[in-house]
Amino acid sequence: MTKRALFPGSFDPITIGHVDIIKRALPLFDEIIIAIGVNAEKKYMFPLEDRKQFIEDAFKEFDAVTVKTYKGLTADFCKAENAQYILRGVRNTADFTYEQTIAQANAEVMDVESVFLVASPAVSHVSSSIVRDIARNDGDYSSLVPFNA
């Protein structure tokens, strides 16, 4: 049986922290689907097409990584994609506490297990919200993303 994991997020934008988690997870799974969640009520800084392209460019050399978009519940998308696992990165205890509750609900209600990888110390300070804040203020965020900013 293929071990398939879904790595969900808005990726607005993808960061070097996301890339770190995905690359470190590759030996654990046969396939990782990077799943860009679409929420019509949320305002994104980067258009969906750009976010998808940033990710595809970052992982073009990795056959085990695919990029897809979805609407609705992540666990439902897991089922639709036959993914047995949700992959999540955690930077700190606040991230873990938030993710733990969701993981427990997904396991109980949808029978989807979550796998957490702790962020590498070198990138644990990086988040999409920090990148957006730097970008909004015309700062140089190029060292925090895997694409040419």
For the annotated catalytic residues, the residue numbers are: 18, 42, 91, 128
- What's the token pair of residue 147? 């694409």
3-class state of residue 40 by DSSP:
coil
3-class state of residue 32 by DSSP:
strand
How far apart are the C-alpha atoms of 92 and 79, rounded to whole Å? 28
H helices within the chain, ranges in order? 16-25, 48-58, 74-80, 93-105, 128-136
How many Cβ atoms sit within 10 Å of the Cβ of residue 145? Answer: 22
How far apart are the C-alpha atoms of 83 and 2, rounded to whole Å? 9
